[in-house]
Amino acid sequence: MNMIIVGAGGHGRVVLDILRQANENKPVGFLDNNAELHGRRIDGLPVLGSIEELPELRKRGITGATIAIGDNGTRRAVGDTIEQNEFKLISAIHPSAQLATTVSLGKGVVIAAGSLVCAHCQIGDYTILNTGCIVDHESMIGTAAHICPGVRLAGHVTVEAGAHVGIGATVTQNIRVGFESIIGAGAVVIRDVAPMTTVVGVPARAIKNAPSPDEFATLLAPSRPDPRDPMHVSTFQ
């Protein structure tokens, strides 16, 4: 299927390489809202314009798309736009990634080189499992989370929607990482992480706490999905 990659930054290059190695679909170009990139070529593919080009591209027979955007919230929103434009969301899975036969995968996921996903894991829509990460048995990753390069999640870990588990972090068994939380690079997480909290260090401790209920309410602009909605917090609750 002829397809485009939405996002022409560094992650876009990684995704293009994954799609070329997987060799199942034909990437024909990038879309990116950064106008400075329009008309340029990236690793041989043109940047065809912004996301507004989707309807025009569909008329030209391009019907698949993969999202290559690092920001978790933007990735989720762009995924919805792609589907509204009746494109098929294509997951990019590197041939060297190893997935147990019992793994359940959402739509529009990116799984980079050398990732290991063990038995009975569930991977939510728009999630990135980045280079060389390990997701051990029965772990659940919510919608649009990012598991960065070299992360190690032990068994029965839950990572809720929109969480960012930073490069090289370790999360011990049975831990719950709250929605839109941030785990710092190299952290070792041994206790549950509250939603919208940033933790760093060994063992991981909070450097930015979750907002109070009042602050939290003001964060919920009408256009923003309500993270208290269970379907947003995690597909798997």
Ligand X SMILES: CC(C)(COP(=O)(O)OP(=O)(O)OC[C@H]1O[C@@H](n2cnc3c(N)ncnc32)[C@H](O)[C@@H]1OP(=O)(O)O)[C@@H](O)C(=O)NCCC(=O)NCCS
List interacting residues with ligand X (CB under 6 A).
130, 148-149, 166-167, 182, 184-186, 198, 200-201, 207
To the nearest 10°, report the CA torsion of 22, 24, 28, 31.
-70
What is the side-by-side order of every strand in the sheet holding 122-123?
104-105, 122-123, 140-141, 158-159, 176-177
**Residue among 139 and 181 whose Cβ is closer to ligand X:** 181
**Which pair of structure tokens corresponds to residue 141?**
């990753």
Residues 6+ apart with CB under 8 A from 44: none
102: phi then psi, degrees, rounded to nearest 5: -95, 10
Distance in Å, CB of 110 to ligand X, minimum: 12
Is 20 in a helix, a strand, or coil? helix
**Residue among 19 and 183 whose Cβ is closer to ligand X:** 183
**Residue among 119 and 206 whose Cβ is closer to ligand X:** 206
Which amino acid belongs to residue 166?
G
**Residue among 6 and 182 whose Cβ is closer to ligand X:** 182
Distance in Å, CB of 191 to ligand X, minimum: 16
**Which pair of structure tokens corresponds to residue 22?**
């997987």
CA 202 to chain centre: 25
Distance in Å, CB of 100 to ligand X, minimum: 24
- Strand bridging mode 188-189 / 170-171: parallel
Distance in Å, CB of 144 to ligand X, minimum: 15
Distance in Å, CB of 116 to ligand X, minimum: 17
**Residue among 29 and 166 whose Cβ is closer to ligand X:** 166
Smallest CA-to-CA distance from 181 within 192, 170, 173, 172 is with: 192
